[in-house]
Amino acid sequence: MEASNLALFWAGVIAVAILVYVILDGFDLGVGVLFGTTRDEAHRAQMMDTIAPFWDGNETWLVVIGAGLFAAFPVVYAVFLGAFYIPVLLLLFGLIFRGIAFEFRYRSDRMRWLWDWGFCVGSTVVAFVQGAAVGAMMKGIPVANGQYAGGALVWFAPFPILTGIGLVLGYALLGAGWLVLKSEGELREWAYRRIPWLAGGVLAVLLLAFGVTFDFGVIARSNLQGRPWGLMFPAVGVLALVGMFVGARRKHDVLPFAMTVLFFLAAYLTLGTMFWPYMVPYDITVANAAAPEESLSFLFYGAGIFVLPVIAIYTIGVYWVFRGKVRKGYG
């Protein structure tokens, strides 16, 4: 069965939304992870300032993904949320606590420790469960009759746990790159010092994950075999890691963040090559999952041609308004 143009359009929208989400919320979640590794109040306040205008808008993309999946690919929405029942629960709690902590730490000193703790732990949990879900997807999601057909802890196996840790470190790397990009003085130096260690950590976890715990049997089920050119993406990823080291050594403020984004893009395209045209690997394809054309077109003429451009313009607008280094906070 061939996927219709509308189905491809919505699959493309969701694919782009996932990438944008991972990079944008990735850096602010990463700043949250790094937040827990310093006790310096000046650093912490400055870290918050670098993400204040962005973090909540970044999470909009998660809503786009969720709403898009439910509306355009309901079976994928049902299978994923069933398979990742507990990770989704943890994700929601992490986002809630992080959001509240963000708003209230400014206004609190007696209870600030609680908000600080909530911000760091919330960010880390969100990053971890997202990474674990990706790891579980690579292993394949069991499906029967259009519903998830496995247990609640499929994501809690050695390989997904390692990919979860990998994403925590990966987001922290994005966060460190963002801090370098947006801050000055001591915090910038502090973030620079962490980049080589985090990049090394990501590499080590990935090597451990694929070297020790990965079952290469699933490669046979995936589409990587038929697409040997897909191996160029991991190669680009390695080059991007090298670029991060170079950027950190030469103190080039844009390079570490740009290279981390390239690294994420390479990882994302690797996964895309493995999975396409599956939406739920390795059972449900884009064509199988698509809602009826009547649903897709109803969605297209409102959300597709009107709402999505506004979301894109809003996102670009916010980043434009708050561009450049954070000096005395945004006012």
Partner 1 sequence: MHLDPVILSRIQFAFVVSFHIIFPAFTIGLAAWLATIEGARLATGNPIYRRVFDFWLKVFAVSFGMGVVTGIVMAFQFGTNWGVLAERMGSIQGPLLGYEGFTAFMLEATFFGVMLLGRERVSPRFYFFACCMVSLGTMFSSFWILANNSWMQVPVGYSIVDGRIIPADWWAITTGPIMRVRWPHMLLAAFLTTGMCVIATGAWYVLRGMHRAEAREMLHWGLGLVAVLIPVQLFVGHLTGEYVLKHQPAKFAAIEARWKSQQPASEVLIAIPDPANERNLFAIEVPKLGSFIASGSWTSREVGLEEFPPEDRPPVVIPFFTFRIMVGMGLVMLAVSWLGNFLRWQGRLETTRWFLWCAFASFPAGFIAVLSGWFTAEVGRQPWVVYGLLRTKDAVTPSLTTGDVLFSLIAYVAVYAVFISFGIYYIYKLLREGPTAEATPVRGATAKRPMAFADDAETATGATVRIEG
Of 108, 115, 104, 128, the residue nearest 29 (C-alpha): 128
Of 92, 100, 91, the residue nearest 118 (C-alpha): 100
Using CB under 8 A as the criterion, what x/- string covers residues 99-118 for binding partner 1?
xx-xxx-xxxxxxx------
Burial pattern 296-313, b for ≥16 Cβ within 10 A else e, equals: beebbeebbeeebeebee
What is the footprint of partner 1 within residues 20-49 (CB under 8 A)? 45, 49
295 touching partner 1, by CB under 8 A: yes
Task: Select 226 or 324, whichever has its Cβ closest to partner 1.
Answer: 324
C-alpha–C-alpha distance, residues 139 and 128, integer Å: 17
Among 5, 40, 63, 249, binds partner 1 (CB under 8 A): 63
Task: Select 56 or 272, whichever has its Cβ closest to partner 1.
Answer: 56
User: Which SS3 state, helix, strand or coil, does residue 3 take?
Assistant: coil
CB of 289 to partner 1, least distance (A): 10
CA angle 140, 78, 100 (to 5 degrees): 100
Contact 148, 142 (CB under 8 A): yes
CB of 107 to partner 1, least distance (A): 4
C-alpha–C-alpha distance, residues 83 and 194, integer Å: 35
CB of 291 to partner 1, least distance (A): 5
85 touching partner 1, by CB under 8 A: yes
C-alpha–C-alpha distance, residues 240 and 242, integer Å: 5
Among 12, 40, 152, 193, binds partner 1 (CB under 8 A): 152
Task: Select 213 or 315, whichever has its Cβ closest to partner 1.
Answer: 315
327 touching partner 1, by CB under 8 A: no
CB of 161 to partner 1, least distance (A): 19
CB of 263 to partner 1, least distance (A): 27
71 touching partner 1, by CB under 8 A: yes
Ramachandran quadrant class, 162 (left: phi over 0; alpha: psi -120 to 50; beta: rest):
alpha
CB of 36 to partner 1, least distance (A): 20
Of 52, 35, 53, 55, the residue nearest 44 (C-alpha): 35
CB of 9 to partner 1, least distance (A): 14
Options 158-166, 170-178, 264-272, 304-312: segment touching partner 1 (CB under 8 A): 304-312
**CA torsion angle for 295, 299, 304, 308 (degrees, to 10)?**
-130
4 touching partner 1, by CB under 8 A: no
DSSP 288-302: HHPPPHHHHHHHIII
75 touching partner 1, by CB under 8 A: yes
Q: Which stretches does DSSP call E strand in 140-249?
A: 143-144, 147-148
Options 97-105, 206-214, 245-253, 270-278: segment touching partner 1 (CB under 8 A): 97-105
Q: Count the Cβ atoms, other than its own, within 10 Å of residue 118.
A: 22
Contact residues: partner 1, CB under 8 A: 45, 49, 52-53, 56-57, 60, 63-64, 66-68, 70-72, 74-75, 77-83, 85-86, 88-89, 92-93, 95-96, 99-100, 102-104, 106-112, 145-152, 291-292, 294-295, 298-299, 302-303, 307, 310-311, 314, 318, 322, 329-331
